[in-house]
Structure 1
Amino acid sequence: MPEDERRAPREAGGEPPEPPKPAKGKKPKSFWKELPLLVGIALILALIIKTFLVQAFSIPSDSMQNTLQKGDRVLVDKLTPWFGSKPERGEVVVFKDPGHWLDGEPTPDPNAVQKVLGWIGLMPSADEKDLIKRVIGVAGDTVECKGTGPLKVNGKALNEPYVYPGNTPCTDDDQGGQFKFTVPQGKIWVMGDHRQNSLDSRYHQNQPGGGAVPVDNVVGRAFVIAWPPTRWATLPVPDTFDQPGISQALSAAPAALGLAGAVPVVLWRRRRAAVSAEAASGARVSG
């Protein structure tokens, strides 16, 4: 624009345009108005964590002493099963009642606050019928007890430092303490560390599944004691099941299946190579 035109309004006695006034900022909401939103977000996050990641559980009995004491709160990893992870020997797992394991057990009577906290996962839920035991055998394993022990998996005697002091690895009775059981596919065999005070897989052999727990019933693996603070500790998998021979029964089966599947492929490749060689030979003779 020419300079004389830019000055025209001022020369004509007009006032220069006023600069735009800054917009008034919105008054921040008070904390009390934002509190419901914050609570809602916290509840949603808590529900997501409870459903997919971690959940707290309370130990209801002495069946896992001395690893776990009655009243301990443990945190359970619920994430890895979503990625196809299966329970392994030696893990402490929480699982839903396979059927009638908790018959006759007292039912908790939580107050309203405990019910809400249990629903969002900040406290153990009193409505869920869950148990906690140690995985001893997985699919394909043969678990065996004779006399007072030792407990054997796939014919190998276990050294079990986690068993309650003074207990024998096996219970010498005719109510289920003596057994030899091969774990079916999709199941696990579980036992409590307090062997003389645990109604585990041994004592449910007369029920469907023979005492084995469906893997689908497993909620997750307990990995830490979170409460009380004086009991805080991790729950690592012991070295008990690392000794040679225990996993041979399982590793042999995939190897055999792999070999069986490879034989037809090898034969097909040999036949194809032979046909190709014959065709090439015929072409050279014709030429």
Structure 2
Amino acid sequence: MGSGSGDDGRGRLGSTLSGLAVAVGSLLFLGGFGWGALAYQPYTVPTDSMTPTVSPGDRVLAQRVDGDEVRRGDVVVFRDSSWGGGPMVKRVIGVGGDTVACCGDGGLLTLNGEAVEEPYLGGERDRSVSSTFTATVPEGHLFLLGDRRISSLDSRSRLDGPEQGSVPRSAVTGRLDAVAWPLDGGVIERPRGFAALPGGVSEIGPVRLIAGAVAAGAVFILAGAAYGPVSRRRRARAASRG
């Protein structure tokens, strides 16, 4: 009699904890997805101009940011009528007041006379950009280049215009933080070559926290849902032994 009552008490406690785990897990899981929908815009990369950082067909997460928040080194999504009006992905190399030039020693781009290391470039041909240019970025604008320099159509192809190939900050609709698909893409780190310049580099958004909340929620839900079947099997084995 006492043993059965104890088993019932443990069973009720287990059921309560199981339900609590599912509830907490659902909150984390759904809350993470909701947070992600508010903070990020999914986008499919259309061309190879940003390889190897992102490749054609990659599904990326672009944090919804104002153009004023963008820093050198960021990979941004933008729309500008002079670039065709559709969404495009490029890397910010210069901001208002900067002078961007190609090329210094070793084929490196220079920014305000200082050579910039660009570890994200894909190969030797991209690291030694053949075209020589100099551009001064107007205030409130961004100078944008692709990581695959050998084939990217970017600010270099628009240098003859009044804005020397740059786009207004207001054209930016998002900043890439991560590759969601394929799954091995991961977070897009900020290049440290720009960190010592005025304004530094931007911080990565809450993508890791969001992914952690979704993953933790899934674990809680699965653990809570598994309690019932596991508990029933244990009781059945105990009854068969008794």
**Normalising to structure 1: TM-score of the pair?**
0.53
Identity, in percent, stands at: 39
> Structure 1 residues 168, 70: closer, same or farther in 2, change over 3 A?
closer
RCO (CA 8 Å, sep 6+): is it higher in 1 or 2?
A: 2
1:238 aligns with 2:195: no
Q: Structure 1: how far apart are the matches of 2:124 and 2:152?
A: 14
Q: What is aligned with 2:87?
A: 130
Return 5+ residue gaps in structure 2 as ranges.
1-29, 200-242
Q: Structure 1: how far apart are the matches of 2:61 and 2:117?
A: 27
Instruction: After superposition, give the CA deviation of every residue in 1:206-251 in whole Å (9 maximum; x if it has no partner).
Output: 234220011000001010000122x3310121111124xx439xxx
Secondary structure of the equivalent of 1:202? helix
1:60 aligns with 2:46: yes
Moved beyond 4 Å, runs of 4+: none
User: Once the 2 structures are TM-superposed, how far is the Cα of residue 56 of structure 1 from its aligned partner?
Assistant: 0.7
Q: Structure 2: how far apart are the matches of 1:158 and 1:224?
A: 23
Q: Structure 1: how far apart are the matches of 2:160 and 2:98?
A: 19
Alignment partner of 2:78 out of 77, 95, 116: 95
**Contact 1:92-1:222 within 8 A present in 2 as well:** yes
**Contact 1:145-1:170 within 8 A present in 2 as well:** no
1:247 aligns with 2:198: yes
**Contact 1:98-1:214 within 8 A present in 2 as well:** no
Q: What is aligned with 2:150?
A: 196
RMSD of Structure 2 on Structure 1 (CA): 2.6
**Contact 1:92-1:135 within 8 A present in 2 as well:** yes
**Contact 2:146-2:154 within 8 A present in 1 as well:** yes
Q: What is aligned with 1:141?
A: 98
Q: What is aligned with 1:167?
A: 125
User: Once the 2 structures are TM-superposed, how far is the Cα of residue 98 of structure 1 from its aligned partner?
Assistant: 4.1
Q: Structure 1: how far apart are the matches of 2:68 and 2:102?
A: 28
Q: Give the length in aligned residue pairs.
A: 167
Q: What is aligned with 1:77?
A: 63
Q: Structure 1: how far apart are the matches of 2:120 and 2:36?
A: 30
**Normalising to structure 2: TM-score of the pair?**
0.62
Q: Structure 1: how far apart are the matches of 2:141 and 2:93?
A: 11
Structure ID, larger Rg: 1
> Structure 1 residues 89, 227: closer, same or farther in 2, change over 3 A?
same
Secondary structure of the equivalent of 1:195? coil
Q: What is aligned with 2:9?
A: none
